[in-house]
Every structure is written in structure tokens, then in C-alpha cells.
Structure 1
Amino acid sequence: MLNDKYLDFLSGKDFPNSFESLVKKVCRYLFHVLAHIYWAHFKETVALELQGHLNTLYTHFIVFVREFNLVEPKETCIMDDLSEVLCAPLLPHTHNHVTER
């Protein structure tokens, strides 16, 4: 059961003072989960043909936490090589699979 302070902000009242630090902690843990999957379970991910989904999830997550400064760069630096490759902007001559009209 949710405690009263979280029910308050869910109902449109002010967020508790600790909300930002809680979100940052959750994001830090989520990063560690993603890093663990890449480190310890990537072969299984490829065998299940899920690496594209994992890469998309990781990319969206990294862009989000960078945009809102939710995880310190020193926490994510272990995955900087992957982040650089996956989060690099598309080259101007590169087109996605969607046909423009």
C-alpha cells in the first residue's frame, strides 16, 4: 500500500522534497541492471534475437537520464563506448525505414 505522501502527489498535490533524489536513485539502479544485462547476458539476448530491443531501451534510457541529469556521468562511464555508438546522431545521408511523403 502506498503511503500518504505518495498518494498526495499522485492526486496532484506537491511532490515530496525527496522525490528528485528517489528518481535519481531508481535511474542509477536501472542503469546498473542494463549494464549487467550487457555484461553477463548479452549472448542470451542475441540468441533470443532481442539485442535490437535492448539497444533501443538502452539508448532511450541514456538519452533520458542525460537530458534530465538523473545519473552522474561517473556512474555511466563504464558504458561510454556503447553509449557513444548507440546515441550518436544519424549521419545526414542516412535514412530510416520510414518513407517520407
Structure 2
Amino acid sequence: MNHKELIQQYKSTPTFYGVIQIKNEQSGKTFIDVTPNIHNRWGYYQTNLNGNFYHDTDLQEDWNRLGADAFSYSVLWKKDTTGVDHLRQKLKELKQEWLDKCQPEYN
């Protein structure tokens, strides 16, 4: 495939927004977040946690103490963004709904 075809393929790939969870497998504590594009989101969080981005949080403290292998990542819910209006507002509502439902310890 040439460069133009790769770009077109990327642009035509569906985008999914959703709810993600990072779980401390030793303690069972969880972190819930929403994202407008779940593709490669685990890499995003790993980079930020490895870079101490979430300083002054229990999640960062446990990550630093236990290491990345003590945590798992999962997508709890996802939906295609096609036809979604006001995605920012939708994500805000979705996050509150999942925080209320799951009561994550790290949030």
C-alpha cells in the first residue's frame, strides 16, 4: 500500500468512544475514565504513569511502588462515534454514570 492509501484507510477506520478501566490486580482498586477514541489508549496511560503525570494521586503512588505489571486495562463499554452529536457532553455524562455505577477508588 502506498502512503495515500494508508492515510485513506486510517481515515475510514471507525472511531469508538468509550469507558476504560485501569485495575490494580493486587488491591482490586480501579480507575475509570472516558475517552473520545479508545484506540491505543492503554499506551497513553502507561506513558503518563511512567512519566509520573498523575503525581499526588494514589494511582500514581501504587504504579510507582508496584510497577506496571500489577495493573490491567480493559474497555468496559464502547460505541462508534458515527452520528454522535456533542461528544464532549456525552462523555461528561457517561463518565458520571460510570463513576456512580462502579465507585472506583482511584478517581
Higher share of residues assigned strand? 2
Superposed pair shares fold, TM > 0.5: no
Structure with bigger gyration radius: 1
- TM-score range (shorter-chain normalised) is under 0.3
So what's the TM-score if we normalise by structure 1?
0.23
Higher share of residues assigned helix? 1
So what's the TM-score if we normalise by structure 2?
0.22
RCO comparison, higher one (Cα < 8 Å, 6+): 2
